[in-house]
Amino acid sequence: MKNKLLKRIFAIGLTAVMAVSMIAGCGSKGDDKGSSGTDADSGEGLDASFTWWIYKTDGSGTYYDDYKDSPVVQFINSQYWDVENGGIGTEETGRKLDLSFLVPIAGSEGENFSTMISTGEYPEILDLNGSTENAQSLYESGILMDITEYVEKYMPNYLAFLDSHPELKPLVSVLGEDGEIHYYALYELKDGVADPWYGPVYRRDWLVKYAEPTEYVWDWESEVVKENGHPAVTPLEKALEEENLDGWKKNEVTAFSATPGTNPDEEYEDNVIFPSGTGDPITVSDWEWMFEAFAKAIEERGWADNSGAYCMTIEYTGYSLQGDLVSSFGGGNGFFYVRDGEVSFDGTSDNFKAYVECLSTWYENGWMDTQFHTRASDMFFSINTTGTTQGMVGLWGGMPNSLGTGIRTTCANEEDKQDAFVMAAAYPINDVYGKEEQMYHEPDSLYQDSRRGGGMGITHKAEGKDLAALFTFFDWGYTEEGSLTQGIGLSEEQLASVELNPNLYADYDLNAAYTVSTDEDGKTVYHKTVDSSNDLVNAIHGGRLGAHYSMTGNTGEYTIDKGDTHVATLAKEQWTKYLNTGSIMDYNALLKPEESEEFSKIMVAVTDYQKQNLPGVIMGGMDMWDEYAKGLDALGAEAFEETFQKYVSLSKTEE
């Protein structure tokens, strides 16, 4: 590794010099035949070398000078791609690719991409993470190819993945003027929710000490709960008032206790049962039951008049633009919203009104942060950090470092220093506020990473080359084997089949990037052999290749062992319980420049109005709602629904 930095600087400079002369001669426009007129189906005589501009390398460029030396790229370049049958073939049935890479100097990515485009000195494959324009605009500018025919002919696994995840189709395709679906780029597509780094957390130890078990809890074995997902009447107070306990049962737990163990983050157990009949909060009434316990804890500690101590946190605007708790009330986010393929502006909907009614009630009950509207300088993931780290808040938006025993050392109360324990919750399902239409719907607009990753486009410089083999390789990325290889690294079998030089696996004494086992439920478990905190984990996978589906491990169909503590594993289960399907933000990248400019103006007007007026409604009461809604309607945001709708509706053309 001596003089590694000097070698890398020299290599980047040399690559840049060579690229100008090399790229200028790469390919020319034409059909899928070589310059000598050779047949693309046979591949005979076709150039199989492709240069790929990528945003940056995996592993920060520490482990190899040239991305071509990545173990995954070496493996790919050594394979024979079976154009006729798909996937990896043999020397007799397949043909090789020769992938090489251009990587900009860190900090110059955007400038480098723009320079390539403006000068025409770009390679055959482009990582679109560096682009300020979307794939359709780059196609219309004559830079990217329309790859539809290659996708349809050589990528059955890609199309099958989209068929099984139809909500992703509009994000990767374009409806052309000819009325047909077109593909201008390929994307990394996640099979589920990516690992979250943030979500609702709460003081579990305060529930053990201060919550009172309810007389009845949901009976999950009853026919009514099995059929409807909830008792005939909820919450419990209403069921008792109406004398209808169908779906409820006597609570066998009469007092709560906990067994923290010697390592609580791994061993903590308790017998807390929520009114909804499980060990995790499910409903809004579960949250309100928690708040009653938190209020007792705060009162006992003498913090009743401390503005930094309260039951639950909310953003200074009174809502989250992503949705989150907003979407618990029938769905939505108080902004542009997608449901069942239909776009609407949600700012004055009955769903959003039910959300505001709930918060207004919580504020009046003293459960909410009374100073929420003053915390404009606090980021949504670090609101009142003094209060949360000192253990003065019952429920807040937290990160993994606050889970388990994470806040004990900073707690202000001596008792909390000994046994504070934080657990995660999913956003709740409303069973209290609004009308029937606002109740019993799973949250659908959540702060989650997009399931569509950065795009990868094929430029006209690739015409006349072996595109059949290239797209056969791309399609392999949407198989389980390809996904594991690009997302984690080489299996033991793959490693044994290829001669790597350089060989990171040998350098770091690894037999594989992962191993496979089966858990007690018969579910497949993938165990990474390199800890996720080690940058080597990025160097041995091929994530920068872009075109593949990413196995998140959060679909419930299999597990990826990421070395998390038990409490962190439980947190991810809660934070990924519901899927973000209602957010419009994924569609922003599809807007044309003039549409994007118009949307930005609407977004600024709407969010500024809500920031200035919504907190007043929450604190002042629902008598102010009609005036608030009238002012928001006057901004005319609904007029942009049609623009978003044409992008959201793309998948319907295939039905």
pLDDT digits (tens, 9 = 90+) for 479-514: 999 999 999 999 999 999 999 999 999 999 999 999
Segment 92-97 mean pLDDT: 96
pLDDT at 33 (0 to 100): 43
**Spatial CA neighbour of 547 closest among 122, 288, 183:** 183
Over the chain, what is the mean pLDDT? 91
pLDDT at 246 (0 to 100): 98
pLDDT at 543 (0 to 100): 85
**Spatial contact of 456 and 518, defined as CB atoms under 8 Å apart:** no
pLDDT at 56 (0 to 100): 84
**Spatial contact of 270 and 258, defined as CB atoms under 8 Å apart:** yes
> Bigger pLDDT: 546 or 82?
82
- 535 has pLDDT over 90: no
pLDDT at 622 (0 to 100): 97
Backbone torsion region of residue 483, taken as left when φ is above 0, otherwise alpha when ψ lies between -120 and 50, otherwise beta: alpha
Q: How would residue 13 be classed by pLDDT, with cut points 50, 70 and 90?
A: very low
- 575 has pLDDT over 80: yes
Task: Work out the angle at residue 651's Cα, subtended by the Cα atoms of residues 647 and 655, and round it to the nearest 5 degrees.
Answer: 145
Alpha-carbon torsion, ordered 525, 528, 531, 533, to 10 deg: -90
d(CA 424, CA 313): 14
Q: How would residue 18 be classed by pLDDT, with cut points 50, 70 and 90?
A: very low
- 309 has pLDDT over 70: yes
- 22 has pLDDT over 90: no
- 11 has pLDDT over 60: no
pTM of this structure: 0.85
3-state secondary structure of 122: coil
564-592 as b/e, with b when 16 or more CB fall inside 10 Å? beebbebbbebbbbbbbbbbbebbbbbbe
pLDDT at 254 (0 to 100): 96
**Spatial CA neighbour of 640 closest among 608, 595, 605, 589:** 595
pLDDT digits (tens, 9 = 90+) for 413-462: 999 999 999 999 999 999 999 999 999 999 999 999 889 988 899 999 99
DSSP secondary structure letter of residue 79 = S
Q: What percent of the chain has pLDDT over 70?
A: 92
CA 83, 88, 89, 90 torsion: positive or negative? positive
Only one residue has tokens 């542009």, namely 336
d(CA 128, CA 647): 20
Segment 552-574 mean pLDDT: 92
pLDDT at 40 (0 to 100): 60
**Spatial contact of 584 and 337, defined as CB atoms under 8 Å apart:** yes
Q: How would residue 29 be classed by pLDDT, with cut points 50, 70 and 90?
A: very low
d(CA 500, CA 479): 23
Q: How would residue 531 be classed by pLDDT, with cut points 50, 70 and 90?
A: confident
**Spatial contact of 494 and 60, defined as CB atoms under 8 Å apart:** no
- 586 has pLDDT over 90: no
pLDDT at 59 (0 to 100): 67
> In terms of C-beta distances under 8 Å and separation of at least 24 residues, what long-range contacts does 517-521 make, across chains too?
519/559
Q: What percent of the chain has pLDDT over 90?
A: 80
**CA atoms lying within 13 Å on the CB side of residue 286:** 23
d(CA 172, CA 478): 14
- 571 has pLDDT over 80: yes
- 178 has pLDDT over 60: yes
Segment 527-533 mean pLDDT: 88
- 5 has pLDDT over 60: no
Bridge partners for 102 per DSSP: 53
pLDDT digits (tens, 9 = 90+) for 55-67: 888 766 688 889 9
DSSP secondary structure letter of residue 144 = B
Bridge partners for 517 per DSSP: 525
CATH architecture for the domain at 4-192+450-514: 3-Layer(aba) Sandwich (3.40)
pLDDT at 653 (0 to 100): 42
pLDDT digits (tens, 9 = 90+) for 347-362: 999 999 999 999 999 9
Q: Is 200 exposed, middle or buried (0-12, 13-18, 19+ CB in 10 A)?
A: buried
- 651 has pLDDT over 80: no
> Bigger pLDDT: 229 or 29?
229
Q: How would residue 650 be classed by pLDDT, with cut points 50, 70 and 90?
A: low
pLDDT at 41 (0 to 100): 65
Domain ranges of the chain: 4-192+450-514, 199-315+351-434
pLDDT at 45 (0 to 100): 78
DSSP symbols for 573-601:
HHHTSS---SBSGGGGGGS-HHHHHHHHH
pLDDT at 17 (0 to 100): 37
**Spatial contact of 346 and 637, defined as CB atoms under 8 Å apart:** no
pLDDT digits (tens, 9 = 90+) for 603-618: 999 999 999 999 999 9
d(CA 272, CA 254): 10
- 256 has pLDDT over 60: yes
**Spatial contact of 558 and 523, defined as CB atoms under 8 Å apart:** yes
Q: How many helices (H) and strands (E) does the chain have?
A: 23, 21
Token pair of 209 as six digits: 């000490």
d(CA 483, CA 349): 41
pLDDT at 27 (0 to 100): 38
- 43 has pLDDT over 80: no
- 3 has pLDDT over 70: no
pLDDT digits (tens, 9 = 90+) for 103-159: 998 889 999 999 999 999 999 999 998 898 899 999 999 999 999 999 999 999 999
pLDDT digits (tens, 9 = 90+) for 182-209: 999 999 999 999 889 999 999 999 999 9
pLDDT at 34 (0 to 100): 41
Point out the least confidently predicted range of 204-208, 215-219, 295-299, 547-551.
Answer: 547-551
Q: How would residue 19 be classed by pLDDT, with cut points 50, 70 and 90?
A: very low
